Homo-oligomer: A and B are copies of this chain.
């Protein structure tokens, strides 16, 4: 019988305090089930907020953490057809902070073998960037978009996917001591323009006004973004780094016909109309990764047994490198 370890919490609070490793005995696989050995799973900001009780949805307690990751199929039930032992899969539902998980094959996304960091962070951020660039404004080559939090994981994916389509990006970042280095890094990734909010006004004198603004910050930053938009432009908010409300001038809304939307990948996945779009989207994104056109952001790779350290670090970081839990040898096989 397989004993697995996974991270659980029975109260909302600071993740390093409330998360504990629990052991479970796994029952024998049902015919329609797949046993997946998790290889790596990231700690996302939304995971942290969920555990803190601050996210849009609250799980019932006790709960398991981890919303994405990558694993290898190590067992299949008799009726399973689409995945085989040895395949790499991305679980579409968690919990992934676990040495193993059991899932129906329909809840597993088979992916080609690739860099484990890209694979483990494949489910959430690249599709978020993909949908933000596809679902709101029809963009053609030489069109311009603008985004804040350009150095975030989604921001970096936006830069690379836009570049692959010939769409130009204006990337707003916060002032910082190593600003020139950050600019160079994002430009190497494909960013056309990297500016602070202060530098934005000058830039807009010489660049076509953007049709689409992507906002992960809120507050005053959204005034800057919506003021930059072309008439009839659209801003889509998908996060709230500032924890401030989104703001937009009435002039922009009324006289320039700016529209504001919010995007939430969880809702997108739940829409029945989107079922058929999931496969082609991930196919296209896999291809980009294999061709080196879409790289994962920098991350700290930390063994699962040191999860305490990883979560303490995740709590401290604001916009820095993501923590990736690595599950080598963490599972224990018993009788």
Q: Which residues of A contact B (CB under 8 A)?
A: 56-57, 218, 223, 237-240, 245-264, 267
Contacts and interface: CB of A to CB of B under 8 A. Distances in A.
A262 B267 contact: no
B267 A218 contact: no
Contact of A246 (B247, B256, B264): B247
Nearest to A240: B250
B262 A254 contact: yes
Q: Which of A56, A246, A252, A259 has the most CB of B within 10 A?
A: A246
B261 A259 contact: yes
A257, A258, A260 — most chain B CB neighbours (10 Å)? A260
Contact of A250 (B237, B250, B256): B237
A12 B255 CA distance: 20
A218 B260 contact: no
Contact of A252 (B247, B250, B252, B262): B262
B250 A218 contact: yes
Contacts of A258: 262
Contacts of A245: 223, 247-250
Contacts of A262: 250, 252-259
Nearest to A251: B56
Nearest to A266: B255
Listed from nearest, the 6 A-B pairs whose CB atoms lie closest are A253-B262, A56-B255, A240-B250, A260-B260, A254-B262, A245-B247
Scoring A246, A251, A254, A263 by chain B CB atoms within 10 A of each residue's CB, the highest score goes to A254
18 contacts: A56-B255, A218-B250, A223-B245, A237-B250, A239-B254, A240-B250, A240-B254, A245-B249, A246-B247, A246-B249, A246-B253, A247-B247, A253-B261, A255-B267, A257-B261, A257-B264, A257-B267, A259-B259
